[in-house]
């Protein structure tokens, strides 16, 4: 049985943030993820907003970690070469909504967040297409957008590059106490660890139960989203929210870090079983369309290239970020819903410091930086020329919509946390994320995966087990029909 200092359960943005922060210490770490890739839960399907920090109630963990995380995120994104843009955000109010904005402004002050209330005239300078109904807005210049799944994956890559182990497709089935800490039993094996960090997101309750910790009540809210073609990118410049209500921050309109436009989410209470399925609803999409029209005029829904749903898991009104009292060495990260993405770097640091202190991990003198990868769509003509000369695979474009070369795909397949599925390739290099949604490149990406992973084409999956894209050969079982 292999022994580790720390085992992190869950490969979302929080779990990988912990792993990334632990990579600065002399500690042997393992991350276990039940799905086929990192970022397969809430981290892949959320708004991708870096919240400035005015929304959370002063004094809460949400407020503390949000404000701290928002300050850390720009540098982290730069360090890991993750798409991030500081766009600023607006909470837009109709006439009569000023009181609501004042409440937010007051919280911003208490949380130490820069914010001001703008008149319609000033709003128009930022958002020329703001709806005519909007009269005032709370402007927070430090808000931004980040690619949540790319951040998650890059944190995992960085950690692996610096000695961590990441195991995908491995579900935790039981946790036992041992003399030296814990034994974690998975679908594939057993591992010993001094400390276990529960960052399992929607699965955190199950992990708590597996160890025998208090059972928590998780509440699941699903949200529907539209992603629009990058040609709509001029329609909005900042993250535009409506005034929040009891259901959440409401349906927003924002640019994405990768240059698309995101609309959503709704907030539908769903069951635990539904939370795993992420089904988009027609009613939800209709609500998004209505919500968007109240904020920004001239958004062309006809330019949608994708719809999806994501689930947020909450436990009570605040984050639970604490070491278990009954099981010392077991650290719980529960109910990390919004602003979880923004908070994640601060949560990662907090947990790493806790572990370092408890187990006296030494800080490494230096870490290996994550190398910046070549990206055709972001480079100059001269760089493209040089790269294609150096390696012809970078001269072969596989995804025409997003201009992704075979070389980029190969590098994703052979990255520290390897991309082994079509969707995993897509999340890393955007092949299939453009306007044709993989209609052209999907078979070609499958061919490359088949070649590189030495698997028959029929075994290539979209995502998790059971999602083979073309599972049969032609004529298989023809006689039976």
Partner 1 sequence: MKNFDVVVIGGGPAGLAAALSARKKGASVAVLERDDKLGGILNQCIHSGFGLHYFGEELTGPEYAKRFRDAVLQDSGISVFLETMVLSLSKDKIICALSPAEGLLEIQAKAVVLAMGCRERSAGAIALAGERPAGIYTAGAAQRLCNIDGCLVGKEVVILGSGDIGLIMARRMTSEGAKVKLVMEIMPFSSGLKRNIVQCLNDFDIPLRYSTTVTRAEGKDRLTGVYIAPVDEKLAPILEKEEFIPCDTLLLSVGLIPENDLVSDMIELSPITKGAVVDERRETSLEGVFSAGNVLHVHDLVDNVSEEAAIAGESAALYALGKLPRGEKYAVTPSRGVRYALPQRIQAGEGKVRVYFRVDQVYRGKTVAVASGGEIVKRKKTAVMAPGEMQYIEIDKTALTGDVSIYLEEV
Partner 2 sequence: MNTVCIMCPIGCALSVTEESGKIVVTGNSCLRGQKYGESEFVCPKRVVTTLIKGEKGGVVSVKTAEPVEKKLVKEVLKEAAAFRLSSSVRAGEIVLENVAGSGVALVATADYDAK
Catalytically annotated residues:
51
Residues 342-358 as b or e (16 or more Cβ within 10 Å = b): bbbbbbbbbbbebbbee
For residues 8 and 35, which CB has a smaller minimum distance to partner 1 in the complex? 35
Provide the minimum distance between the beta carbon of 465 and partner 2 in the complex, in angstroms, as a whole number: 24
Contact between 472 and partner 1 by CB under 8 A: the answer reads yes
Contact between 475 and partner 2 by CB under 8 A: the answer reads yes
**Span from 221-229, 327-335, 439-447, 471-479 in contact with partner 2 (CB under 8 A):** 471-479
Residue 334, preceding bond cis, omega within 30 degrees?
no
Cα(14)–Cα(152) distance, integer angstroms = 8
**Of positions 81, 294, 306, 364, contacts partner 1 by CB under 8 A:** 306
Task: Return the residue matching tokens 């640091």.
Answer: 349
228: left (phi over 0), alpha (psi -120 to 50) or beta: beta
For residues 372 and 475, which CB has a smaller minimum distance to partner 2 in the complex? 475
Interstrand relation of 116-119 and 144-146 (parallel, antiparallel or unpaired) = unpaired
Residue 311: contacted member of partner 2, partner 1, none (CB under 5 to 8 Å, by partner type) = none
Quote the DSSP letter at residue 31.
Answer: E
Cα(89)–Cα(312) distance, integer angstroms = 21
- Asked if residue 7 lies in contact with residue 32, where contact means CB atoms within 8 angstroms, the answer is yes
Cα(37)–Cα(418) distance, integer angstroms = 8
For residues 388-417, which are near partner 1 according to CB under 8 A?
388-389, 392-393, 395-397, 400-401, 403, 405-406
Contact between 305 and partner 1 by CB under 8 A: the answer reads yes
Cα(25)–Cα(41) distance, integer angstroms = 27
Provide the minimum distance between the beta carbon of 174 and partner 2 in the complex, in angstroms, as a whole number: 43
Structure tokens at 328: 């010392």
Cα(239)–Cα(193) distance, integer angstroms = 42
Provide the minimum distance between the beta carbon of 475 and partner 2 in the complex, in angstroms, as a whole number: 4
Contact between 233 and partner 1 by CB under 8 A: the answer reads no
Contact between 473 and partner 2 by CB under 8 A: the answer reads yes
Q: Please choose, from the candidates 206, 231, 192, 157, the residue with its C-alpha nearest in 3D space to the C-alpha of residue 414.
A: 157
Provide the minimum distance between the beta carbon of 365 and partner 2 in the complex, in angstroms, as a whole number: 52
Provide the minimum distance between the beta carbon of 435 and partner 1 in the complex, in angstroms, as a whole number: 7
- Give the footprint of partner 1 on this chain (CB under 8 A): 226-227, 231, 276-282, 285, 301, 304-308, 376, 381, 384-385, 388-389, 392-393, 395-397, 400-401, 403, 405-406, 435-440, 442-443, 446-447, 457-458, 461-478, 481
- Give the footprint of partner 2 on this chain (CB under 8 A): 473-475, 478-479
């Amino acid at each position: 049985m292999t022994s580790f200092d720390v085992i992190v359960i869950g490969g979302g943005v929080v779990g990988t943030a912990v792993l990334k922060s632990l990579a600065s210490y002399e500690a042997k770490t393992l991350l276990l993820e039940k799905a086929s890739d990192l970022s397969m839960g809430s981290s892949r399907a959320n708004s991708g907003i870096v919240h400035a920090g005015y929304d959370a109630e002063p004094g809460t963990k949400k407020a503390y970690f949000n404000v701290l995380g928002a300050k850390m995120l720009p540098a982290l994104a730069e360090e890991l070469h993750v798409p991030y843009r500081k766009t600023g955000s607006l909470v837009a109010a109709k006439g009569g909504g000023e009181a609501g904005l004042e409440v937010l402004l007051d919280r911003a002050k208490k949380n130490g967040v820069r914010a001001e209330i703008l008149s319609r005239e000033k709003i128009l300078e930022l958002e020329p297409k703001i709806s005519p109904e909007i009269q005032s807005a709370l402007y927070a210049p430090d808000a931004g957008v980040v690619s949540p799944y790319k951040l998650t994956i890059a944190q995992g890559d960085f950690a692996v590059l610096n000695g961590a182990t990441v195991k995908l497709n491995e579900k935790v089935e039981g946790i036992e106490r041992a003399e030296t800490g814990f034994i974690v039993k998975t679908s594939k094996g057993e591992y010993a660890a001094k400390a276990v960090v529960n960052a399992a997101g929607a699965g955190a309750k199950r992990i708590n139960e597996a160890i025998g910790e208090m059972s928590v009540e998780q509440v699941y809210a699903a949200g529907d989203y539209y992603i629009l073609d990058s040609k709509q990118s001029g329609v909005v410049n900042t993250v535009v929210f409506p005034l929040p209500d009891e259901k959440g921050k409401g349906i927003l309109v924002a640019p994405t870090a990768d240059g698309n436009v995101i609309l959503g989410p709704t907030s539908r209470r769903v069951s635990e079983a539904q939370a795993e399925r992420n089904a988009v609803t027609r009613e939800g999409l209709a609500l998004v369309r209505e919500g968007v029209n109240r904020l920004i005029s001239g958004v062309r829904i006809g330019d949608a290239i994708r719809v999806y749903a994501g689930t947020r898991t909450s436990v009570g009104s605040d984050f639970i970020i604490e070491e278990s009292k009954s099981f010392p060495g077991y650290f719980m990260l529960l109910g990390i819903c919004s602003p979880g993405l923004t908070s994640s770097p601060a949560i990662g640091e907090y947990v790493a410091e806790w572990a370092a202190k408890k187990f006296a991990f030494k800080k490494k003198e230096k870490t290996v930086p994550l190398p910046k990868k070549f990206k055709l769509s972001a480079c100059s003509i001269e760089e493209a020329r040089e790269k294609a000369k150096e390696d012809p695979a970078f001269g072969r474009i596989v995804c025409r919509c997003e201009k992704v070369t075979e070389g980029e795909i190969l590098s994703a397949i052979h990255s520290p946390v390897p991309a082994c599925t079509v969707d995993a390739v897509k999340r890393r290099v955007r092949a299939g994320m453009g306007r044709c949604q993989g209609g052209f490149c999907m078979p070609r990406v499958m061919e490359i995966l088949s070649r590189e992973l030495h698997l028959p084409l029929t075994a290539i999956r979209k995502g998790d087990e059971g999602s083979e894209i073309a599972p049969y050969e032609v004529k298989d079982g023809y006689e039976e029909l």
